[in-house]
Amino acid sequence: MDRVPSRRDIGAAALAASLLAAQPVRAQARPVRIAMLLYPGMTALDVVGPQELLAGLAPGSLSLVARTKGAVASDTGLALVADTDFDGCARDLDVLFVPGGDGTPAQMRDAKTLAFLRDRASRAAWVTSVCTGSLILGAAGLLQGYRATSHWSVRDRVLPLLGATPVAERVVFDRNRVTAAGISAGLDFALALAARLRGDDYARTAQLVAEYAPRPPFAAGSPASAGPAITKEAEAILRNLVAGSLAAAEAR
């Protein structure tokens, strides 16, 4: 068996890939075809967290897709680089993924983006999102009649306007739709999806490689645990995102 490279040799994602590739190969263990949407104002961690854990499934077949190739600025200014555009994206995908972010309302109104998502979703094995990415899927008509989740600030107010049934869970599977709650839920989403694609042991190995064993310093990850004062502060930060998402959903 080939030597497994050390962490000094390669990054965490590549290390995960090499570790998992060393396991017995199953008939279905071909590279997974994944397309992850980038757009101005996305939340970078919505993309980077899942990408880190799913990259080992998709050596050479994970694409970061945007309207045009090149750098795309996130909602905090960090840029991610799209390696392909809508026309160049593979037509048949195993996983179509949409992140959330402050740019969500604009994407909910963007005809070209919505048309791209509808086309690829029509053939994708899994249609997925993290955070307010579910609102973009919903604006494309892809959550009509599905159970779904989103960031807590918009989940119950906006998803019903898009034909979805809101569910207050970290990750929600409904047929081939997989939606995750706010930013940090992207890691849970990626592990849950990896388990569906390659089995529980694969996902457990990826979790261990990432040392994903969260112990947050505060119990403030939901309005219920944070309390009314902290929730009010968070709602002020999120006000424009919520108002813009509501307006975009109501305008459909």
Residue positions annotated with a catalytic role: 131
Q: How many CA atoms lie within 13 A of 95 on its CB side?
A: 31
Q: What is the Cα–Cα distance from 186 to 224, expressed in whole angstroms?
A: 20
Q: What is the Cα–Cα distance from 1 to 241, expressed in whole angstroms?
A: 51
How many residues comprise the chain?
252
Contact 55, 13 (CB under 8 A): yes
For residue 160, the Cα-to-chain-centroid distance in whole angstroms is 20
Which amino acid is present at 105? P
Nearest to 97 by CA among 146, 32, 156: 32
Contact 64, 25 (CB under 8 A): no
H/E segment holding residue 80: strand 79-82
Q: What is the Cα–Cα distance from 154 to 141, expressed in whole angstroms?
A: 17
